[in-house]
Amino acid sequence: MKLCRHGPRGREKPGLVAPDGTIRDLSGVMEELTGVADLAGAALAPRNLAKLKKLKPEQLPKVSSRARIGACVGGTRNFIGVGLNYADHAAETHAEVPKEPILFNKAPSCINGPDDDVMIPKDSKKTDWEVELAVVIGTRARYVDEKDALKFVAGFCICNDVSERSFQTERSGQWMKGKGCETFGPLGPWLVTPDEIKDVQNLDMWLDVNGERMQTGSTRTMVFGVSTLVSYVSQFLVLEPGDVITTGTPPGVGMAKKPPKYLRPGDVITLGVQGLGMQCQKVVACA
């Protein structure tokens, strides 16, 4: 099942992607079925996703093809990133493969629609791109065993982990300085439930800037897989339904190019992950 959120920023409604690719509006039935009006919180519980799966899309109202698609999950409290989690990406940045996952925070306020503009922050000179597989939590998770970890996952989506490298690595302190800037967390377009994904550790990924291929990779080269990450993060904080873990990026980021290449106003980023759809963002200057 593919779910989404559509409509103006801050007023998004839940939607279901029908087999023919049209988006069907769930706002008329969502609260009655799940107790929650948005695709957020308890709506992501397995029992509620099962109720949504039983709906007949053709009986739901069509959403205009011109409607804005918002981030595919609402109410996110924790937005956790994982650094250097692809062996080939670690190699391109001349970094050691970590012995344990490197975790950092992305601010929930940076979450953006998949096709919304990405804004370069003030004083930025090194805004970079990162195509990633993101995991959306569906069930409260604390001290989860790795063998059970996928039971706590509501679904998967694309994240562009936009990063400002000088803020991240040259300004001292933690990586979050360059990770949580406004618009730096596009999520979606779809929240894809695990039953739709044959093997989450074998998904192709790509990212282009202005039509030029920058990243080509696969979740096969993750250092720590999805189950490991969900279990690991749950040892340090409680994950609530709607929380997001974005799991790292394959090689091809701008800072590793020779010479380095960074985003500028007017650039267009397109990116995708197999089975999860595609994003497209225009880069703009800070308002």
3-class SS letters over the chain? CEEEEECCCCCCEEEEECCCCCEEECCCCHHHHHCCCCCEHHHHCHHHHHHHHCCCHHHCCECCCCCCECCCCECCCCEEEEECCEHHHHHHCCCCCCCCCEEEECCHHHEECCCCCEEECCCCCCEECCEEEEEEECCCECCCCHHHHHHHEEEEEEEECCEEHHHHHCCCCCHHHHCCCCCCEEECCCEECHHHCCCCCCCEEEEEECCEEEEEEEHHHECCCHHHHHHHHCCCCCECCCCEEECCCCCCCHHHCCCCCCCCCCCEEEEEECCCEEEEEEEEECC
Judged against a pLDDT cut of 90, whether residue 93 lies above it is answered with no
Does residue 173 have a pLDDT over 80?
no
Quick one: what percent of the chain has pLDDT higher than 70? 100
What does the alpha-carbon distance between residue 68 and residue 163 come to, in Å, rounded to a whole number? Answer: 24
Structural domains of the chain sorted by starting position, each given as residue range(s) with its CATH number in brackets: 2-59 (no CATH), 79-285 (3.90.850.10)
Separation in Å, CA 49 to CA 25, 26, 127, 152, 156? 15, 12, 37, 13, 14
Query: Using an 8 Å Cβ cutoff, are 284 and 183 in contact?
Result: no
pLDDT of residue 81: 98
Residue 277: is its pLDDT beyond 80?
yes
> Quick one: pLDDT at residue 151?
98
**95 pLDDT exceeds 80?**
no
pLDDT tens-place string over residues 208-222? 999 999 999 999 999
pLDDT bracket for residue 94 (50, 70, 90): confident
- Encode pLDDT of 262-273 as tens digits: 999 999 999 999
CB environment 135-159: b (16+ within 10 A), e (fewer) = bbbbbebeebeeeebeebbbbbbbb
Q: How far apart are the first and last CA of the chain?
A: 37
For residue 52, how far is the Cα from the chain centroid? 22
Q: State residue 266's pLDDT score.
A: 98
The pLDDT of residue 152: 98
pTM given for the model: 0.97
For the segment 238-257, what is each residue's pLDDT rounded down to a tens digit?
A: 999 999 999 999 999 999 99
The mean pLDDT of 277-286, rounded to a whole number, is 98
